[in-house]
Amino acid sequence: MRIVCFIMLLIAQATGLFAYQDTSLNKSISEQNIRFINYPDFPEAHSTWGSIGYNPANNNVYVGVTNHADKVGFYEYDPARNQIQLHGFLSDLGHLRPFQWQGKMHSKIVAGPQGEIYFSTDGGESREEYLMDHPHGYAGGFFMKWNPATKQLTNLGMGMQYESIKDVEVDMQSGLVYGISYPQAHFLVYDPQKNLLQDAGRLGSAHVPRVLFTDWWGNCYYVDWRQRLVKYEKSTGKLVFAKQSLPAFPGTPGGKIVTGITAFAKDHDKKAIYLVTYGAKLVAFYPQETGIGKWEDLGGVYEMAKGEEWKPYVPNLNIGLNGKLYYVIGGHGNYVRKDKTVLIEFDPEQRKANILLEFPIGRLTEVTGSDIRDKDGNMYFAGRKRPDRSENGSVPFLIKFNPEKEVK
């Protein structure tokens, strides 16, 4: 009997060890489908905060990486060559003076109609963001444009004095650049051709939503403090407010509602824009050229106990060539598996979420990024890890993922 028990114990230990080593929970997906790419030449790099984007003009991916204090590196990844390059730091590339310091790039990196890309800058430092008493002051965030052909960065100017610019979007038809300021949540419209900046006023308060997105006609969307979609209607130059708020689980705290949308991904074939909210709802949004359009509640990002459905944290979203959604749950202390982040595949037709891979938080702590996929179907996220579980130990990296084939 003792021998049988001992053998069973050995089997259990071996099984447990195997389960820990194999991060895949779906045998059609393995770590051959995903790759973590380090950022070179920036040893003090700390994190990325949604500052990632794709340029269809050259099929390359761009990332803004920060030390979360006063240094922001600008990177370009070339999938064809499988090479990542540091172009330099924003303070140098943008010819910023010391009083124009920037703490990070928080916005997406968005392609423009002529193959250029746009992004914005952010104070990115808690003394600036919350206490407003940074010893060096904060002048304000800038709109910036990168020319991939000449490898030149152009500082287009400040959005609002003393305000960060949390996110940007671009109308691919007219070239209009949209922005949202922080902490006052002013909606900004910038015309690079005319060098004309319009302030459309405040759209929120408290915790400022971080995400803008555009539709097929170049109209831009945000959310107000009730999580209602707010549309800048390009044809009229006016703001249009949805009558109803986006879906939320019963009991979702107000702080989650106020923060609104955390990420999006576009299905161009179905003319659907998938949204994920800070309250862990997935929504299929079907815009129309005038007016708001319609949406469909797809349920939660992960099956949770009743009353806890709103808790998962998902500041990222991508869509594969197969029409399925992919996202990583975890970050800011919110995890659906103890001390682990999980990569999810969500089928919008079946409304079903499956865990593909899971990672210890010392290996993958948090992931950001919206709608970044190259022409070969590879999807990209901005990830970071905290090996020693302290903010000082944060290490950022680029994530490349393809559910259909091995990633090189």
Q: How far is CA 149 from the centre of its chain?
A: 26
Q: Set out the domains of the chain in order of their start, with CATH numbers.
A: 54-209 (2.130.10.10)
Given this model, what pLDDT does residue 393 score? Answer: 78
CB-side neighbour CA atoms (13 Å) of 381: 28
Per the listing, tokens 């050229």 go with 289
For 392, the token pair is 């000082």
For 143, the token pair is 């709109």
Q: SS3 of 29, please?
A: coil
Count other Cβ atoms within 10 Å, centred on residue 269: 7
Phi, psi of 18 (to 5 degrees): -65, -40
Residue among 100, 95, 48 nearest 74 (CA): 48
Q: How far is CA 257 from the centre of its chain?
A: 18
Is the backbone peptide bond immediately before 183 cis, with ω within 30 degrees of 0?
yes
Please state whether the predicted TM-score (pTM) of the whole model is above 0.85: yes
Given this model, what pLDDT does residue 18 score? Answer: 30
Could you say which DSSP state residue 209 is in? P
Given this model, what pLDDT does residue 392 score? Answer: 62
Count other Cβ atoms within 10 Å, centred on residue 326: 22
Is the backbone peptide bond immediately before 360 cis, with ω within 30 degrees of 0?
no
Phi, psi of 388 (to 5 degrees): -105, 10
| Tens-level pLDDT at each residue, the chain (408 residues) | 444 444 443 343 333 323 333 455 666 899 999 999 999 999 999 999 999 999 999 999 999 999 988 899 999 999 999 999 999 999 999 999 999 999 999 999 999 999 999 999 999 876 666 556 667 788 999 999 999 999 999 999 999 999 999 999 999 999 999 999 998 999 999 999 999 999 999 998 778 899 999 999 999 999 999 999 999 999 999 999 999 999 999 999 999 999 999 999 999 999 999 999 999 999 999 999 999 999 999 999 999 999 999 999 999 999 999 999 999 999 888 899 999 999 999 999 999 999 999 999 999 999 999 999 999 999 999 999 987 766 567 999 999 999 999 999
Burial bucket for residue 201 (CB in 10 Å: 0-12, 13-18, 19+): exposed
